[in-house]
Chains A and B, each alone.
Chain A
Amino acid sequence: MANNILDFEKPLIELADKIKELQTFMDEKGLDLSEELGRLKERAENLQKEIYDDLDTLQILQIARHPNRPTASDFVEYIFDDFIEIHGDRKFGDDKAILGGIGLIENKAFTFLGHQKGKTTKENLSRNFGMPHPEGYRKAFRLMKQAEKFGRPIISLVNTPGAYPGIGAEERGQAEAIAKNLMVMSDLKVPIVVVVTGEGGSGGALGIGLGDRIMMLEYSYYSVSTPEACAAILWKDAEKSPEAAEALKINAKALKKLGIIDRVIKEPVGGAHKDPEMSAKLLKAAILEEYEELKKLSVVELIEKRYQKYREVGEFSFKPNEDMLKEEVE
């Protein structure tokens, strides 16, 4: 735990330690220092607000990648009343980087999909750090078709640095596996609620991330490429990743403003890892709320609305914009 403290959290943690110390001192000596204690607590609250109201994208990235951040299976445990994991793509293998299954939330059946990271190094190795191979996407494909067959709505939790870039993944058609999912998700006959809970790493995220509602946890990110890769490619300098992180507009607030995502879900103070249970509660409430809305639509309306949602993504103009460009350049 101690190793997982982020730099910007340090002053807060120091203050919290001080408060604890004072409390213990008070209890031991039987002294009343509650005024002093109150002041410290107030300071802590203010400091907390100060820090978390003004996080830069790189700091958000650190929270999104925090080793203690709740994983898909953590959320499943809190959100589902009953859950059965389902394995395998029936073609090649079972990719542990994607968790899939069926379960009940408040007596309603859902199909669940999510990128699965590990908490320990050992678990992360078996989960491939949440980076799926084609088998993972094909398992998701199979589960989505099954969900459609039985009229089960789908919850998909996105949390991956990206699809795995490896020899086997390429040999077995990583690109095709992702593309097929995009194709099938675009007109699947059941509601799909997507939440980016940590890392939304490019095509690997989108591969299970097309849906009727796209939401993001407050301290997650969603990006066309990692800021590190973006800086390396565009500016030939990986050191410029902080600039890239800002320029790419990858945090939830910025993406909501751009209209790419529908909703930002609040996290407990300090991030989901500070209180996974509370975070899951907020996540569950948001998912169910959106599902209740989607439930009202007919299948035809649902699919048409989903199609239009993506049909409209993009910013362009119909005028030859060279004059505008010239102005800009001048």
Chain B
Amino acid sequence: MFKDLFGKPKYVTVKSREKQEREDISPDSHLWTKCSNCNAIVFNKKLVENLMVCSECNYHFRISARDRLAITVDEDSFQEFGADIHSEDPLDFPDYKEKLLQAKIKTGLDEAVLTGEAVINGFPVVIGVMDFTFMGGSMGSVVGEKITLAVEKSLETKKPLVLITTAGGARMQEGLVSLMQMAKTSAAVKKLDNAGILYICIMTDPTSGGVTASFASIADIIMAESGALIAFAGPRVIKQTISADLPEGFQRAEFLLEHGMVDMVVDRKDMKSQLARILMIHQQGVRNCG
């Protein structure tokens, strides 16, 4: 629904599309929003000020990759790479080309992930940010390639890698080619692991399927945004399989913390400073060793 709200995206080197259509509700056209969690009426101005978090119940609305970048990296610091990589249609899958085009027009993005170099409170990083509105953030050839390129950039520059995930899983329309992106990205992360370079994954709502079961879950530090759904199999599939109700809070960030699957649960407003603190402590460690 909401996207690109946090200032004009000066930091993005992606060309903006003139023909970009905005069918979504934007703060210009409406004054208020009903929170999808607590049903409270929240003024849009306040919602944007609050980084799209409900002031009543702390519900974190989903935000676009560009907005995520805007609130995560230092102004004007993002240098995109991998923007010239475009999806093909390896299986000749029904309607895939059309769906890709629609997703491009709808989101103004070329694919479900943005990758580049950036600076976070003065600390240089390689960063990848996924976007759920682009075909459910699904991982096909291009997402797999761009994530791998980000890992390789990190290997080459020795800058820590930060990946911010949101995904429904592997992209169905590319079939097994998509599934193999799990292997490809995980193999790349193994190289980073061997090289001793820090990799932080921030899991946001929702992160599931093949993305959770590959590069996202093998980070050195996993941060989860408050309330985010993080899963291998989605709750609907599980409910269907076991024909029983799921426990309260099942597969939410807090539940994963409780079960030892993530390192910390962080509110959106604290994410950047927390990330910077980790980078700061880490860099200190690297210096001590060097």
Q: Which 4 pairs of residues, A with B, have the shortest CB-CB distance?
A: A165-B233, A186-B187, A314-B141, A182-B186
> Which residues between 215 and 267 of chain B lie within 8 Å of chain A, taking CB atoms?
215-218, 231-233, 237-238, 241-242, 246-247, 250-251, 259-261
Asked whether, in the complex, the Cβ of B97 is within 8 Å of the Cβ of A172, the reply is no
Which of A306, A307, A316 makes the CB contact (< 8 A) with B85? A316
A58 at the binding interface (Cβ < 8 Å): no
How many pairs of residues, A versus B, come closer than 8 Å at their CB atoms?
203
B280 at the binding interface (Cβ < 8 Å): no
Binding site for A on B (CB under 8 A): 84-91, 93-94, 97-98, 100-101, 104, 140-142, 144-145, 148, 170-184, 186-191, 193-194, 209-210, 212-218, 231-233, 237-238, 241-242, 246-247, 250-251, 259-261
Closest to B91 in A: A249
| Given A234-B172, A247-B91, A319-B86: A314 in contact with B177 (beta carbons within 8 A) | yes
> Which residues between 282 and 317 of chain A lie within 8 Å of chain B, taking CB atoms?
306-307, 310-311, 313-317
Which of A164, A176, A222 makes the CB contact (< 8 A) with B176? A222
CA gap between A172 and B232 in the complex, in Å: 11
CA gap between A107 and B94 in the complex, in Å: 50
Asked whether, in the complex, the Cβ of B184 is within 8 Å of the Cβ of A310, the reply is yes
Asked whether, in the complex, the Cβ of B242 is within 8 Å of the Cβ of A167, the reply is yes
Asked whether, in the complex, the Cβ of B97 is within 8 Å of the Cβ of A249, the reply is no
| Given A183-B189, A203-B209, A316-B142: A310 in contact with B175 (beta carbons within 8 A) | no
CA gap between A313 and B98 in the complex, in Å: 23
| Given A167-B242, A174-B213: A325 in contact with B97 (beta carbons within 8 A) | yes
Asked whether, in the complex, the Cβ of B179 is within 8 Å of the Cβ of A224, the reply is yes
Task: Beyond the given A224-B171, A315-B141, please list 12 additional residue pairs across the A-B interface where CB-CB is below 8 A.
Answer: A175-B213, A179-B182, A179-B213, A202-B179, A203-B214, A248-B91, A248-B172, A249-B176, A313-B141, A313-B183, A317-B85, A317-B88
With both chains docked as a complex, state the minimum distance between the C-beta of B220 and any C-beta of chain A, in angstroms: 12
Which of B94, B178, B183, B194 makes the CB contact (< 8 A) with A210? B183
With both chains docked as a complex, state the minimum distance between the C-beta of A258 and any C-beta of chain B, in angstroms: 7
With both chains docked as a complex, state the minimum distance between the C-beta of B230 and any C-beta of chain A, in angstroms: 8
Which of B91, B194, B237 makes the CB contact (< 8 A) with A187? B194
Asked whether, in the complex, the Cβ of B182 is within 8 Å of the Cβ of A203, the reply is yes
Closest to A244 in B: B172
A97 at the binding interface (Cβ < 8 Å): no
CA gap between A220 and B181 in the complex, in Å: 21
| Given A165-B232, A179-B216, A187-B194: A315 in contact with B250 (beta carbons within 8 A) | no
Asked whether, in the complex, the Cβ of B175 is within 8 Å of the Cβ of A250, the reply is yes
Q: Contacts of B101 on A, CB cut-off 8 Å?
A: 322, 325, 329
Closest to B237 in A: A165
Asked whether, in the complex, the Cβ of A179 is within 8 Å of the Cβ of B141, the reply is no
Asked whether, in the complex, the Cβ of A186 is within 8 Å of the Cβ of B186, the reply is yes
Q: Contacts of A64 on B, CB cut-off 8 Å?
A: none
Asked whether, in the complex, the Cβ of B184 is within 8 Å of the Cβ of A311, the reply is yes
Asked whether, in the complex, the Cβ of A316 is within 8 Å of the Cβ of B179, the reply is no
| Given A167-B238, A174-B232, A206-B182: A322 in contact with B177 (beta carbons within 8 A) | no
Asked whether, in the complex, the Cβ of A247 is within 8 Å of the Cβ of B93, the reply is yes
Asked whether, in the complex, the Cβ of A173 is within 8 Å of the Cβ of B176, the reply is no
| Given A186-B186, A320-B86, A325-B97: A170 in contact with B232 (beta carbons within 8 A) | yes
With both chains docked as a complex, state the minimum distance between the C-beta of A126 and any C-beta of chain B, in angstroms: 17
